[in-house]
Structure 1
Amino acid sequence: MPEGKILKALSGFYYVADKENNEIYQCRGRGIFRKNKITPLVGDYVVYQQENGHEGYILEIRERKNELVRPPIANVDQAVLVFSAKEPDFNTALLDRFLVSIESRHVHPLILITKCDLLGEDEKKQLAETFDVYRKLGYPVILSSSKEQWGLDRLGPYLQDKISVVCGQSGVGKTSMLNRLDPELRLKTNQISTHLGRGKHTTRHVELIPAAGGLVADTPGFSSLDFNEIDAYGLGDCFPEIAERAGACKFRGCLHLNEPHCAVKQAAGQKEIASFRYDHYIQFLQEIQNRKPRY
């Protein structure tokens, strides 16, 4: 049976790129998937049966190395987290929410900052210190300006031979960035709404698009993330600087909140952990602890 990869899901159809010839086949999923509550996802490697030319049925979904809920996509190599320097203003709390969500799915993040041409000199210095924090944690940070056409050339090599998901807050220029990276895409964009202070949603479905030698998913923008799939004891693993020090805490299962002899609290007190990052950890931890139980 032929094999391939799902590049697009739309209205109950799955568009599969054949592994051998890369031709696209429009497929439906077998009824057994619905019965077993399995949904084929963009990025899935599948076995399919060809019927009626370029139509067919998906017979089997290969094991996934990971999957994201929002956007619904599987086998992601990396996430490009796109945030603007201004309009809307850069927000470390929102970036950390995305990072925690991505880390929990074992996907490697890359941070791309757009609209850097709008920054004044004092703002550049202030944000440079913040970005240094993330670079020291091992996160690549790329500064760019689509308007002035600089910085995006550094992104291309990161995308090559990978499945990348592009996500971030609405109105930060994700679609413009992809169009700049590959002008043949001609993706639809909307100008930011000055009244609402945010962008309009222009992306309607998840699709893997060839770009810079890899496949990129342009996904809907959204401004909030919950942590329904993360428990209180797993949150620290999503902060590299906390996970690195957690083994030195006196008590196993330390939440780094009020426990004595906590290596993480000590590091935060000595500014070895950035105060805003530790504050966000505490904020997210309380959010997880206060959520209503699911039955």
Structure 2
Amino acid sequence: MIDGIITKGIGGFYYVQSKDGIYECRARGKFRKEKIIPLVGDRVKITINNVSKQGVVEEIMDRDTEFIRPPVANVNQAIIVFAVKKPDPNLMLLNRFLVMAEYERVDVVVCFNKIDLDEKRYKELQTLYTDAGYKVIGTSVKLGIGIETFKDILKDKITVFAGPSGVGKSSLLNATQPNLSLKTGEISEKNKRGKHTTRHVELLELDLGGWVLDTPGFSSLNLDFIEEEELQFLFKEFISRMEFCRFNGCKHVNEPECAVKEAVRNQFISKSRYESYIQLLKEIKEKRRY
């Protein structure tokens, strides 16, 4: 059998990169019976039909990580990209992405693109998310700002590259490696939101070393699989405060002598991050009722 990695899946076909090249493969029926869906990023073993040169996915190796949306496996780093303007950043959505990454236990970098449009806003956002415990970089494809830093972060990692449409994800990847020839989206003048240009999840090999997943843009992110008790641990800046809450089971909502709420009042934890936590907690509770 040949070892490889699934780089793309379309219409029941899986494209597997091996040391000998890329093979178009079908998956064994046993995976359907076991309710296992092969994912982009899966390390697999395949057999090849010498006549047709098509392959069959015989085995899927154990996954280190698994994202639900985008549906990818074995990612060890997430770069979450938002623009400082055009479109304006939706911080609630950004916080959802961060909660997802924390849940999957992957390293996270927050990238604010188009910083040439509003440097002051970038500095505000940089402070907000650096204070929350994240690595933050600023980029501008137009002016070439931050591209070398961006390349260094990608090197030798398997990176999921995510964010809403229109923020410049594909443009950043093309600036990193022009021969990727990814489509870039226009911004609708009517609503300032990006048009969807990436139609499927695809694993792309980088000349500098490593792989990157170019993924469809998202306008929402459902996190209802997370338990109420887990959520607070997925907000990094809460963790060092929680031990000082009066009650062990404190959820940081209505409880008295809550160290997290005290930190919000004293601006050690940002109000927008706390409000995102409350909104997500409310959504999770409502889902559990049904």
User: Please, what TM-score do these two structures have when normalized by structure 2?
Assistant: 0.94
**Residues 226 and 269 of structure 1, relative CA distance in 2, 3 Å threshold:** same
Q: In the TM superposition, what are the counterparts of 1:13-162 in structure 2 within 5 Å?
A: 13-18=13-18, 21-52=19-50, 54-119=53-118, 124-162=119-157
Per-residue Cα deviation, 1:61-84 (whole angstroms, up to 9, x for no partner): 111111112111000111111100
Counterpart of 1:257 in structure 2 is 253
Shift of 1:155: 0.6
Counterpart of 2:159 in structure 1 is 164
Counterpart of 1:213 in structure 2 is 209
Other structure's SS at 2:229 match: coil
Query: Which amino acid is 1:287 matched to?
Result: E
Shift of 1:127: 3.7
Q: Distance in 2 between matches of 1:22 and 1:216?
A: 20
Counterpart of 1:269 in structure 2 is 265
**Residues 197 and 129 of structure 1, relative CA distance in 2, 3 Å threshold:** closer
State the identity %: 48
Shift of 1:286: 1.3
- Is the 2:122–2:138 contact (alpha carbons within 8 Å) kept by the matching residues of 1? no
Question: Aligned match of 1:224 in 216, 220, 227?
Answer: 220
Deviation larger for 133-142 or 156-165: 133-142
**Residues 34 and 157 of structure 1, relative CA distance in 2, 3 Å threshold:** same
Shift of 1:216: 0.7
Query: Which amino acid is 1:77 matched to?
Result: N
Shift of 1:292: 5.2
Shift of 1:253: 2.4
> What value does the CA root-mean-square deviation take over the aligned residues?
1.6
- Is the 2:115–2:122 contact (alpha carbons within 8 Å) kept by the matching residues of 1? no
Shift of 1:196: 2.7
* Gap regions ≥5 residues in structure 2: none
Q: Distance in 2 between matches of 1:218 and 1:253?
A: 40
Counterpart of 1:11 in structure 2 is 11
* Gap regions ≥5 residues in structure 1: none
Q: Distance in 1 between matches of 2:132 and 2:20?
A: 38
Q: Distance in 2 between matches of 1:111 and 1:169?
A: 13
> Are residue 281 (structure 1) and residue 277 (structure 2) matched?
yes
Other structure's SS at 2:111 match: strand
Q: Distance in 1 between matches of 2:227 and 2:20?
A: 41
Other structure's SS at 1:26 match: strand
User: Please, what TM-score do these two structures have when normalized by structure 1?
Assistant: 0.92
**Residues 204 and 104 of structure 1, relative CA distance in 2, 3 Å threshold:** same
The alignment of Structure 1 onto Structure 2 pairs a total of residues equal to: 288
